[in-house]
Amino acid sequence: MANLQSTFLGIKSPNPFWLASAPPTDKKINVLRAFEAGWGGVVWKTLGDQVKNVSSRYSSVDFGGHRAMGFNNIELISDRPLELNLREIREVMKEFPDRAMIVSLMANNTKESWRELIKKVQDTGCHGLELNFGCPHGMVERGMGAVVGQDPMIAKMVVEWVMEYAEIPVITKLTPNVHSVVPAGEAVIEAGTNGLSLINTIQSITGVDLDTFVPNPNVGGMSVYGGYCGPAVKPIALKFLTSLGRNEKTSHTPISGIGGISTWKDAAEFMLLGASNVQVCTAAMKHGFRIVTDMCEGLSNWMDEKGFKTIDDFVGLSIKKITHWEELDINFHITAHINEEKCIHCGLCYIACEDTSHQAIDIRKGMPYNTYTIKEEECVGCNLCKIMCPVDDCITMVENRKGPEYLNWKEFQKRGLPLNDH
Q: Spell out where 29-151 has E strands.
A: 41-47, 58-63, 66-73, 100-105, 128-132
Q: Which H or E run includes 294? A: helix 291-306
Rounded-to-integer distance, Cα 268 and Cα 319, Å: 13
Burial track 230-258 (b if 16+ CB lie within 10 A, e otherwise): bbbbbeebbbbbbbbbbbeebeebbbbbb
The answer to whether the bond into 81 is cis (omega within 30° of 0) is: no
- List beta partners, residue 115: none
Q: Which H or E run includes 363? A: strand 361-364
Q: Which of 126, 135, 379, 389 is catalytic?
A: 135
Burial track 112-121 (b if 16+ CB lie within 10 A, e otherwise): eebeebbebb
Rounded-to-integer distance, Cα 345 and Cα 367, Å: 11
Rounded-to-integer distance, Cα 258 and Cα 279, Å: 5
Rounded-to-integer distance, Cα 398 and Cα 336, Å: 6
- List beta partners, residue 71: 60, 229
Strand bridging mode 66-73 / 100-105: unpaired
Q: Which amino acid is at 36?
A: E
Q: Are 56 and 217 in contact (CB under 8 A)?
A: yes
Q: Is 346 a catalytic residue?
A: no
Rounded-to-integer distance, Cα 318 and Cα 416, Å: 33
Rounded-to-integer distance, Cα 170 and Cα 128, Å: 6
By C-alpha distance, which of 354, 355, 397 is closest to 372? 354
Sign of CA dihedral 178, 179, 181, 182: negative
By annotation, the residues acting in catalysis are: 135
